[in-house]
Structure 1
């Protein structure tokens, strides 16, 4: 077997409208076409997708609330971490800067899924 790329990540959400606000407005991700007939939404990040799947309940599974990066999480690259931080704060999201000192922060979506945003330097 030779895996060639990651296609998507599926996340459970309890409230689709609330999750769509977070991924579409707060994170500003474009919505992708979704040809399925059960509740959910897809978002596009270049050739990768985030699939939101509505569930009756979403388990809270943080194992370390002091260091969000030591939990299951989804990581995105951003070009301007300060601007990303400001956007999250404007929308009332709590943030936790990376404890390692690297340019990265952690936040959570409304269902508690941990999101990492790390700054990438353009060449």
Structure 2
């Protein structure tokens, strides 16, 4: 018996419209059709999906405000980190560069969920 693949991560969001803009427009993830009756959006990342699920409220769980990478987060590889930095800056998204010195940054979505973008 073994786990063979990661399918998706579900993320709670309080404002689906703002979250869709962040994940679909800023991060440029392709949206996936869904047929469920509750409010949410799905996005594709390679063979993996992010499921945004609308919640009445989201309680941020950031425990380390100085180093966002030491909090719960999702991590994605990117091909052009500088282009993402520019797009995040143009959209007034605050981000932190990785303190390890590698080409990576951490950004929060509108509800404070942390996303790592790492150039490979």
Regarding TM over 0.5, the answer is yes
Q: CA deviation at 1:80?
A: 0.9
Query: Structure 1 residue 27 and structure 2 residue 30: aligned?
Result: no
Trace 1:17-56 onto structure 2 (pairs within 5 A): 17-56=17-56
Query: What's the counterpart of residue 105 of structure 1?
Result: 105
What pairs with 1:1-123 in structure 2 (closer than 5 Å)?
1-120=1-120
Q: Cα offset for 1:31?
A: 0.3
Partners of 1:60 and 1:47 in 2: how far apart? 27
Query: Using the alignment, how far apart are the partners of 2:65 and 2:16 within structure 1?
Result: 24
Distance 1:60 1:111 in 2: 7
SS in 2 for 1:105: strand
Following the alignment from structure 1 to structure 2, what is the Cα–Cα distance between the partners of residues 85 and 6? 27
Structure 2 gap ranges (5+): none
In the TM superposition, residue 9 of structure 1 has moved relative to its aligned partner by: 0.4
Q: Tell me the TM-score normalized by structure 2.
A: 0.98
SS at match of 2:56: coil
Q: How many residues in Structure 1 have an aligned counterpart in Structure 2?
A: 120
* Displacement over 2 Å in runs of 4+: none
